[in-house]
């Protein structure tokens, strides 16, 4: 059962005690991501993530990593469109060290000029690597096609120009606005004594001060419905098709997850069976929902030989039409509800998985469902619920499409999707 605690400075803590494990996973979540940037500082959230490993007022970069790794622990971080998370996983006996290192990184970064310049080169290489990975590259293109110039479409890594332009002043200005207690959640899962955990967090984080003059808000981006193609000299064409989606916290999300299990998630799904198993057009094909504050999207991804793109898109459109007109039978709904419950429970195995789930939910939505509440929501899904979400997601069909590869033009992609 999750519990909450709030420090006097507004920092929220959400935690779950699991007494039968010998480990603990601790995450510090900041509402800092590419969605909260602008054209001039795009990529700075990710840049900051790197810089917090490069030394503090108390530790060198090497000391940060050595202090955790010498205890057999793991220290890492990631940046997404809506958040940045710094996390450790340790033996439960070393929880205090984990909290100490994380607090030092987040509150006392040194931002040395020479480290900033070195990290620019590292991240420019990361951008180049990303450009060479079509499965990753296509995601940024998909967001650009769907959301246009809205900040939700900004690439997480930034661009060559923006990253090259970062100065120490720019970094410190962004850090001072986003890295504040009221913009942060700490999530902890594992074996610990509650009093000692709270005491240690109070000790390390209570002196952290707020910048009360800055408030983060999310807009409601309007889908542009665009088509984009990126030419790359690779053997396959990678395609991402986008349908309407549901925002974070929407009451229909559990129904959508159930629909996705049936439609495009896994080897028994309609998409996989029809387009890979029956026709052999692709090696990999799947669908997935993505939810954000105030908006969402439903994606279908596949990669195939250039000669098969048109036929693969045609079959995807047929499956979209089939699920919209025929819906899902009551017997199938009961089956996919069991699949969804199984996937949910298996996804909770491991303290880190739980820590990630509750930390993100608390940061973005300010609420977390218990496992029992989630199971109850899945069990309570009705055919009417499923039909309502199917009508919303699939009625308009494909609203945006992108491709990465050779031997395909934007006009071809438009023709394949629109049928003219």
Q: What's the pLDDT score for residue 225?
A: 87
What confidence tens digit (pLDDT) does each residue in 178-215 have?
A: 999 999 999 999 999 999 999 999 999 999 998 766 67
Q: What's the pLDDT score for residue 336?
A: 94
What confidence tens digit (pLDDT) does each residue in 80-93 have?
A: 999 999 999 999 99
What confidence tens digit (pLDDT) does each residue in 20-74 have?
A: 999 999 999 999 999 999 999 999 999 999 999 999 999 999 999 999 999 999 9
Q: What's the pLDDT score for residue 420?
A: 59
CB neighbours of 255 closer than 8 A, spacing ≥ 6? 381, 385, 386, 388, 389
Q: What's the pLDDT score for residue 51?
A: 98
Total Cβ atoms within 10 A of residue 353: 14
- Which one of 16, 37, 49, 200 is the catalytic residue? 49
- 326 annotated active-site: no
Residue 394 has pLDDT above 70, yes or no: yes
Tell me the β-bridge partners of 405: 231
Q: What's the pLDDT score for residue 224?
A: 83
What confidence tens digit (pLDDT) does each residue in 133-166 have?
A: 999 999 999 999 999 999 999 999 999 999 999 9
What confidence tens digit (pLDDT) does each residue in 344-376 have?
A: 888 888 899 999 999 999 999 999 988 899 999
Q: What's the pLDDT score for residue 213?
A: 62
Note the pTM of the prediction, 2 decimals: 0.95
What are the structural domains of the chain? 3-205 (3.30.830.10), 227-418 (3.30.830.10)
């Amino acid at each position: 059962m999750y519990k909450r605690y709030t420090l006097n400075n507004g920092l929220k803590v959400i935690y779950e005690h699991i007494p039968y494990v010998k480990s603990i996973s601790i995450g510090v979540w900041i509402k800092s991501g590419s969605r909260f940037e602008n054209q001039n500082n795009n990529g700075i959230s990710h840049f900051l993530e790197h810089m917090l490993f490069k030394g503090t007022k108390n530790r060198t970069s090497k000391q940060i990593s050595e202090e955790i790794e010498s205890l057999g622990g793991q220290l890492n971080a990631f940046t997404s469109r809506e958040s940045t998370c710094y996390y450790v996983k340790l033996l439960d006996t070393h929880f205090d060290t984990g909290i100490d290192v994380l607090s030092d990184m987040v509150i006392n970064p040194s931002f040395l000029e020479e480290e900033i310049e070195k990290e620019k080169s590292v991240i420019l290489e990361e951008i180049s690597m990303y450009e060479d990975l079509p499965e990753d590259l296509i995601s940024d293109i998909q967001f650009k096609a769907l959301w246009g110039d809205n900040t939700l479409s900004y690439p997480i890594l930034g661009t060559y120009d923006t990253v090259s332009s970062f100065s120490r002043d720019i970094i410190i200005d962004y850090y001072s606005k986003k890295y504040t207690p009221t913009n942060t959640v700490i999530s902890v899962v594992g074996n610990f004594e509650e009093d000692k955990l709270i005491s240690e967090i109070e000790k390390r984080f209570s002196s952290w001060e707020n910048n009360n003059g800055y408030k983060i808000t999310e807009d409601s981006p309007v889908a542009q419905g665009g088509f984009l193609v990126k030419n790359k000299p690779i053997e396959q064409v990678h395609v991402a098709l986008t349908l309407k989606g549901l925002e974070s916290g929407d009451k229909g999300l559990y129904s959508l997850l159930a629909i996705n299990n049936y439609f495009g998630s896994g080897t028994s799904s309609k998409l996989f069976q029809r387009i890979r198993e029956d026709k052999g057009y692709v090696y990999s094909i799947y669908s997935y929902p993505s939810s954000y504050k105030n908006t969402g999207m439903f994606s279908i991804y596949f990669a195939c030989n250039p000669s098969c793109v048109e036929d693969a898109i045609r079959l995807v459109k047929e499956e979209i039409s089939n699920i919209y007109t025929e819906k899902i039978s009551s017997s199938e709904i009961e089956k996919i509800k069991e699949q969804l419950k199984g996937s949910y429970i298996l996804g909770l195995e491991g303290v880190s998985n739980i820590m990630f789930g509750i930390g993100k939910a608390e940061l973005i939505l300010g609420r977390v469902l218990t496992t029992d509440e989630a199971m109850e929501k899945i069990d309570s899904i009705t055919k009417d619920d499923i039909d309502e979400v199917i009508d919303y997601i699939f009625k308009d069909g494909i609203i945006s499409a992108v491709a990465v590869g050779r031997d395909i033009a934007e006009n071809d992609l438009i023709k394949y999707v629109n049928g003219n």
